[in-house]
Structure 1
Amino acid sequence: MSRLEELIQQLCPDGVEYKYLGDVCSYATERIDAAEVNADNYVGVENLLPDKQGKTVASYVPSDGRWIHFRKDDILIGNIRPYLKKIWLATHDGGTNGDVLVIQIKNKNILRPQFLYYILSSDSFFNYDMQNVKGAKMPRGDKSAVLRYSIPLPPLPVQQEIVRILDSFTELTAELTAELTAELTARKKQYAYYRDELFRTAKDASVHYLNEISDNCDNQRRPVTSGNRIAGKYPYYGASGIVDYVDDYIFDGDYLLISEDGANLLARSTPIAFSIAGKNWVNNHAHVLHFDTYDTRRYVEIYLNSIDLSSYITGGAQPKLNQKNLNKIPIPLPSPDEQHRIVSILDRFDALCNDLTSGLPAEIAARKKQYEYYRDKLLSFKVKT
């Protein structure tokens, strides 16, 4: 028998009492002057993080007025769009606004803040909150309905043991996520090092330009506004990848797309060059290049994604890589055999990184589901009659 089972058997064998949240908690009513808040202790709904990730430093701090005063161990919940699941257990005093619910426990001798936090961070609570929202375009939680949410009140030792278990599980999950993320970062750095070395030491490389080694198919592109697209099975590509699926296609084969415009040309948060295959439609936000061989196309794709292209990009608010500048980019291209050797090595390395990249979210999601399952089990009690 576990320690928790022993405590339940000793202290509440016949079940536990359930209370409305409003019976044991209330909303904060104290006020704090704007002069007393700063980026660290002001918490607006915009700096509460989605999916129960706590809070970040405020990007906006009020300069005047009086604001809701929260205290350490209060629970703050974003009341706009409850489906975003914004919640934070306060670690210090501070101020907030009316878009954030500040829940204060009336008597901590019967209800511990950490225990209540685990109850209110459950999907069950947020689903209940969403069922009672007001407004469609920007739904808000119903403050009265929130206080009618039913919560269990087991004895304090039971609450404390549940908090200990869930804290440990949370810590283990965080450690695993950090380890997997660090491994992925290391793999990517290793890949970048070998990629750059392979390009630098490529044998018999000579400079070529894209209009010399590929066919530009830009004149075949046709943009279609979203309202005029007919849904279908063929991918509709834009500057950074698939943006829709349509009922017809323009291209059929293997091509390299290169972003023509958009902020990503400078931000590089996603690859600006990417290969596509099969039947597809491409709009006028991506250049379309056709190569004679897989190795040359893939070599150029990897190379373009590895270099700084800012000197070829024009425009400020709307960065653009036009075809003229695209054809000015020098490509140090080795012999076909050397291209094949380098591409084969990098493809194998890329597969290892992609396996980890795809596996990481899946592993984190599995851990999250496991955690939520055990949390819901731990927070479910027989109702005392």
Structure 2
Amino acid sequence: MREGWSSTALKNVCTVDKAKHSGTTLPYVGLEHIESGTGKFIGSLAPATAKSTTFSFTAGHVLYGRLRPYLNKVLLPEFDGHCSSEIFPLRVESSLDRRFLYYWLTWEPVVKEIDSTSTGARMPRANINKLLEFEIPLPSFSEQKRIVAILDEAFAGIATAVANTEKNLANARELFESYLNSVFSQRGESWARKPLETLVHDTCTLSYGIVQPGPDVTDGLPVVRPTDLREKFIRRDTLKTIDPSLAKAYSRTTLHGGDLLLCVRGTTGVVSIAATELEGANVTRGIVPIRFNPDLLGQELGYYLLRSPVVQEQISAKTYGAALMQINIRDVRKLLIPVPSRKIHEELRGSLDDLSVEAGRLQSIYRQKLNALSELKQSLLQKAFSGELTADKEVSNAIHNKEEVA
């Protein structure tokens, strides 16, 4: 800690204000309205009520999400309102700047220390009483203001760099798919439309999973749920693991690794690929594993064909339901898939491989930049709370260097 600074227990400069909301119509803040890691409010300012007990807060509070503290949900509201009981309104004393507290609460070492106080396996909650015992650096109020001003400017620059990088990452992802869509839309007589059920491997039953998730089990059987279908590849370390006996009777949806996973309940039409390490894993209700006959269609091209407009439009047309959107398995089996001739298939393989490598290279660069920007934020916070943060060109140069394209 910098010479001349002091520290104190958080409870000496901050209190938890759990005043129950009186029922006056004000904006409501739930955990889902606070963006993880950024403190961005993503809810509505429209007056709203809640079914359960809520806490009142003002524009002078700091809102701290105690449920799953590792998600780092902290908000500096600019309005009066009421919040979920999973959120604690913190009121700061006059010696503590609330933005200084916000930045301290989002500093990774503090996040980890708070998380270590959590109790509960499935729904871990921070122990607020232990949090209040934590020592917080307490420089003079004017020094807190100086630090906050530097961090505000730096984090605004980082946010811009992140937005630009995420846009570039999205463009890199779309590059490959844009090419594929142009190929699919211009297909000629050498392409045939065949029912999906005629293109799959003999071991593929085109059945949806019926395994019930069950509780997490250490070293258990990985299961893929519809909510897991967020990226192109689904890997083992991101999945829930259950008691293997829960899936013993459902061998027809056991994964071989490399299977295409089609969502047929909820967000119908979403497609991912099960990594080869998922051989022997299974899927829950709402997912249909697909393995194409390699003599008729390759898995990689099959993945993009399933995502193409010509197939997605068929899925959309057959999807029904209001509260839960879904498509019948018989309609899935009858989906007409555009299949190129063997000659075109081989021609596409070469060009797709080249474009895929380049798109992958660009995506890797942008992901590395996002990681570097995240690390830069934590580095600035470390300097801030050790008294080493200065307002020279170091910060702006660091942001610029992280934003440059390799």
TM-score (norm 1): 0.73
2:112 partner amino acid: N
Alignment partner for residue 334 of structure 1, among 331, 340, 362?
340
Say whether 1:35 aligns with 2:31: no
Q: Provide the residue aligned with 2:316 in structure 1.
A: 310
* 1:329 Cα offset (Å): 2.7
Secondary structure at the counterpart of residue 260 of structure 2 = strand
Say whether 1:175 aligns with 2:160: yes
Alignment partner for residue 375 of structure 1, among 376, 381, 387?
381
| 8 Å Cα contact 1:255/1:290 also seen in 2 | no
Alignment partner for residue 118 of structure 1, among 79, 103, 114?
103
Listed one character per residue, the Cα deviations across residues 168-200 of structure 1 (whole Å, up to 9, x for unaligned) are 331222122111111123334443432222123
* 1:146 Cα offset (Å): 3.0
Q: Give the Cα–Cα distance (whole angstroms) in 1 for the partners of residues 122 and 263 of structure 2.
A: 34
Q: 1:355 to 1:235 in 2, by over 3 A?
A: farther
Q: 1:141 to 1:214 in 2, by over 3 A?
A: closer
| 8 Å Cα contact 2:67/2:86 also seen in 1 | yes
Q: 1:131 to 1:265 in 2, by over 3 A?
A: closer
Secondary structure at the counterpart of residue 96 of structure 1 = strand
Q: Give the Cα–Cα distance (whole angstroms) in 2 for the partners of residues 193 and 153 of structure 1.
A: 54
Secondary structure at the counterpart of residue 379 of structure 2 = helix
Q: Provide the residue aligned with 1:3 in structure 2.
A: none
| 8 Å Cα contact 2:97/2:141 also seen in 1 | yes
1:353 partner amino acid: A
Q: Give the Cα–Cα distance (whole angstroms) in 2 for the partners of residues 138 and 278 of structure 1.
A: 29
Task: State, as a whole percentage, how many aligned pairs show the same letter.
Answer: 19
Q: Give the Cα–Cα distance (whole angstroms) in 2 for the partners of residues 254 and 147 of structure 1.
A: 48
Say whether 1:55 aligns with 2:67: no
Q: Give the Cα–Cα distance (whole angstroms) in 2 for the partners of residues 358 and 287 of structure 1.
A: 28
| 8 Å Cα contact 2:193/2:339 also seen in 1 | yes
Calculate the aligned-residue CA RMSD, in Å. Answer: 4.5
Say whether 1:263 aligns with 2:230: no
| 8 Å Cα contact 1:79/1:101 also seen in 2 | yes
Secondary structure at the counterpart of residue 92 of structure 1 = coil
Q: 1:102 to 1:350 in 2, by over 3 A?
A: same
Alignment partner for residue 351 of structure 1, among 344, 349, 357?
357
Say whether 1:184 aligns with 2:186: no
Listed one character per residue, the Cα deviations across residues 213-233 of structure 1 (whole Å, up to 9, x for unaligned) are 554323599998889xx9999
User: Where do 1:221-300 residues align within 5 Å?
Assistant: 241=234, 257=260, 259=262, 261-266=264-269, 268=270, 271=271, 274=273, 280-281=279-280, 283=282, 286-293=288-295, 296-300=298-302
1:305 partner amino acid: R
Q: 1:63 to 1:184 in 2, by over 3 A?
A: closer
* 1:26 Cα offset (Å): 2.8
Alignment partner for residue 185 of structure 2, among 200, 219, 228?
200
Listed one character per residue, the Cα deviations across residues 318-354 of structure 1 (whole Å, up to 9, x for unaligned) are 73553x5445333333332222223433343333333
174-183 or 58-67, larger mean C-alpha shift = 58-67
Q: Give the Cα–Cα distance (whole angstroms) in 1 for the partners of residues 115 and 380 of structure 2.
A: 23
| 8 Å Cα contact 1:257/1:289 also seen in 2 | yes
Q: Give the Cα–Cα distance (whole angstroms) in 2 for the partners of residues 64 and 265 of structure 1.
A: 31
Secondary structure at the counterpart of residue 165 of structure 2 = helix
Q: Give the Cα–Cα distance (whole angstroms) in 2 for the partners of residues 155 and 276 of structure 1.
A: 54
* 1:76 Cα offset (Å): 1.2
Gaps of 5+ in 1: 1-7
Q: Provide the residue aligned with 2:326 in structure 1.
A: 319
| 8 Å Cα contact 1:262/1:320 also seen in 2 | yes
| 8 Å Cα contact 1:238/1:283 also seen in 2 | no
* 1:293 Cα offset (Å): 4.4
* 1:78 Cα offset (Å): 1.6
Q: Give the Cα–Cα distance (whole angstroms) in 1 for the partners of residues 268 and 385 of structure 2.
A: 49
Say whether 1:78 aligns with 2:84: no
Larger Rg computed on CA atoms: 1
Q: 1:214 to 1:56 in 2, by over 3 A?
A: closer
Alignment partner for residue 301 of structure 1, among 303, 306, 315?
303
Listed one character per residue, the Cα deviations across residues 51-79 of structure 1 (whole Å, up to 9, x for unaligned) are 35333216993369996442324211123
* 1:277 Cα offset (Å): 5.9
Q: Give the Cα–Cα distance (whole angstroms) in 1 for the partners of residues 119 and 222 of structure 2.
A: 38
Q: Give the Cα–Cα distance (whole angstroms) in 2 for the partners of residues 310 and 220 of structure 1.
A: 18
Secondary structure at the counterpart of residue 386 of structure 2 = coil
* 1:37 Cα offset (Å): 0.7
Q: 1:176 to 1:327 in 2, by over 3 A?
A: same
* 1:372 Cα offset (Å): 0.9
| 8 Å Cα contact 2:37/2:71 also seen in 1 | yes
Listed one character per residue, the Cα deviations across residues 233-286 of structure 1 (whole Å, up to 9, x for unaligned) are 99887886566699xx999999753537443434x2xx25x4876993365853
Matched residues, number: 360
Q: Provide the residue aligned with 2:14 in structure 1.
A: 25
Alignment partner for residue 91 of structure 1, among 71, 78, 81?
78
2:90 partner amino acid: I
360-369 or 168-177, larger mean C-alpha shift = 360-369
Q: Give the Cα–Cα distance (whole angstroms) in 2 for the partners of residues 53 and 198 of structure 1.
A: 42
* 1:206 Cα offset (Å): 3.9
Q: Give the Cα–Cα distance (whole angstroms) in 2 for the partners of residues 117 and 238 of structure 1.
A: 35
Q: Provide the residue aligned with 1:44 in structure 2.
A: 30
